[in-house]
Amino acid sequence: MEANFNELKGTNLNRILKGSKIAEIDSRCINDGIESKWLMKNAGSRVADVIKKDFARDAKKSITGRRAAGTIVCGGGNNGGDGFVAALELLDGGIEVKIFCTGPVEKFSPDSRFYFEKLNEKYKSSIFYLDFDFFENCITQSDFIVDAIFGTGLHGKEIFGPAKKVIEKINNARNKNKKILIYAVDIPSGIDSDNAKILGAAIKADKTVTFSCKKIGLASYPGAYFAGEIIVTDIGIPEKYFENYEEIYEAGLEWVAGRLPFKKPWTYKHEVGKLLVIAGSIGFTGAAAMTCEAAMRAGAGLLTLVCPWELNNIFEIKLTEVMTYPVEQTDDISIHMECLEEVMEISKNYDALAIGPGISTNPSTICLVREILKKVKKPTVLDADGLRALYGPREVESENNCDFSHVVITPHAGELASILGREKIALEDRLDANLEIVKKYNLVSVLKGAGTLITEPGGRTFINPTGSWALATAGTGDILTGIIGSLLAQGMSLVDAAVCGTYIHGMASDIVVPCTSKTSQTATDLFEGIKKVFLEVEKIKYE
């Protein structure tokens, strides 16, 4: 990407950081003279503001029919201090709350103790220490529960003892009564804010009020599952303190629309992008066809599919707008290595390549893919069986003069594990694994899955906010390949095409879920979704 973050502020490109980096930023602010108690006051106030908005004038949300009442559970660290501030403001605002402390006052952090004492002076009768029977009775009768037990400082070590029991009781209360709203302060207790790992047990929040920016534990899975609606609030830390940290972002529709190529009124098909798709084998014509149709829906002006000659008639029927180019085939009816020179020659007339969907695992075909990657330096998206060119016998990295700086790969976790020679990649290890493959091959990697990750060689990473488990069905990856290939053909950089393509793909799914349901959605349903996404894009970009 050409622009840095400061140039992109205001275009809804949102920063994401590890929780441990936020702690560093807090320390730097305090060392520079920003009052830590002021930051805590702002944090707690933001939590109270959200709850007041939800409850202050809405008696219908009260479980008991009386005015809204809640329970706030505070740990001894600064997260608990945020909870004490929230409690003060809610009580001052006429919302009844009971405050439970999970530990002794003498072990509170200094700032937390400061606000506890303020609360104790004014509302001592509202403060309690853990008696589990009384606690359970209170939370089951509450309209809302505020989780201020552990914040972003919780890393690695699993929760045990009374804290784990508190978390379990809060979740059980919510399971028994769906009307109870659970708010998490900064991050649901039990989530590692650096990697989204669940540390034994975690609060399942309805809303998480987080401060300054999203944390990885909120944006990535499994942590994101526990966060509910995420509300990012400003607590007064100046923007300069966020500079020079890892570059992890979340794009929004305005940013995506801004990055997509602007099409002039007098443009024509050769100018808006020509894509060469190399895909398909016997039994897998659908994968190639979906890739081609997705590329056309995403705006490519002209598209040709290279396919085994025996399947050409099938593709002529399946694909109305797409040209086909039949070539020599293997005995398995996949594309043969012998067509390499032919493919290299035809590729000169195209702006980008999409390789892999349904291409087969035939050794001759995989050898062809490997040679195309080495010799055709056009922007290329590589997916599915085509990824086998990066691992197995004769790994490309072992060969001389292998440059993959023109390639976007789109593996799922199983494929990435195979490329890296691992048995599996856990959810919380996806960020590091994607960075590893990017550095190994000097390419852009789109690691598909819940919270798809897009990482470029410099380490900049995007966590995609669109899509859901509705996409966990055959063929959706082929459609993503077509969208990214189309955007590459239209002249977008590798990382822009990958980020925008992934966003469009996920949004296409989200936008048709009301019609299809998540369970019943199939890959071809996304074509209607893609059209609707571009209607929204064009409202932003051209109106």
Average pLDDT over residues 443-469: 96
pLDDT for the residue 52: 93
With a threshold of 0.75, does the pTM exceed it? yes
User: What's the pLDDT tens digit per position in 467-487?
Assistant: 999 999 999 999 999 999 999
Is pLDDT of 312 > 70? yes
Cβ neighbors of 3 (< 8 A, separation 6 or more) are none
SS3 readout for 142-211? CCEEEEECCCCCCCCCCCCHHHHHHHHHHHHHHHHCCCCEEEEECCCCCECCCCCCECCCCCCCCEEEEE
Residue 116 binned pLDDT confidence (cut-offs 50, 70, 90): very high
Distance CA 389, CA 418 (A): 11
Q: Which residue has the tokens 């009384």?
A: 134
Angle subtended at Cα 328 by Cα 325 and Cα 330, rounded to the nearest 5 degrees: 130
Residue 27 has pLDDT above 50, yes or no: yes
User: What are the tokens at 407?
Assistant: 């390639």
Residue 229: how many CB atoms within 10 A of its CB?
11
- What is the side-by-side strand order in the sheet with 380-382? 214-215, 14-17, 248-250, 461-463, 453-455, 444-447, 407-409, 380-382, 352-355, 274-278, 302-308, 323-327
- Beta-carbon count within 10 A of 115 CB: 25
Q: DSSP 3-state assignment of 370? A: helix
Phi, psi of 27 (to 5 degrees): -65, -40
Strands 274-278 and 352-355, bridge-based pairing? parallel
- Full DSSP string of 20-32: HHHHHHHHHHHHT
Please report the pLDDT score of residue 77 as a whole number: 95
- For residue 5, the model assigns a pLDDT of 37
Average pLDDT over every residue of 65-83: 90
Cβ–Cβ < 8 Å for 373, 396? yes
DSSP code, position 408:
E
Residue 435 has pLDDT above 90, yes or no: yes
Alpha-carbon Rg of the chain, whole angstroms? 27
d(CA 406, CA 493): 9
What are the tokens at 48?
A: 């109270």
The percentage of residues in the chain with a pLDDT greater than 90, rounded to a whole number, is 86
Residue 80 pLDDT more than 90? Answer: yes
Cα separation, 511 vs 488, in Å, equals 24
Going along the chain from its start, the domains and CATH numbers come out as 13-246 (3.40.50.10260), 264-542 (3.40.1190.20)
pLDDT digits (tens, 9 = 90+) for 190-246: 999 999 999 999 999 999 999 999 999 999 999 999 999 999 999 999 989 988 888
| Burial per residue of 443-479, b for 16 or more beta-carbon CB atoms within 10 angstroms, e otherwise | bbbbbbbbbbbbbbbeebbbbbbbbeebbebebbbbb
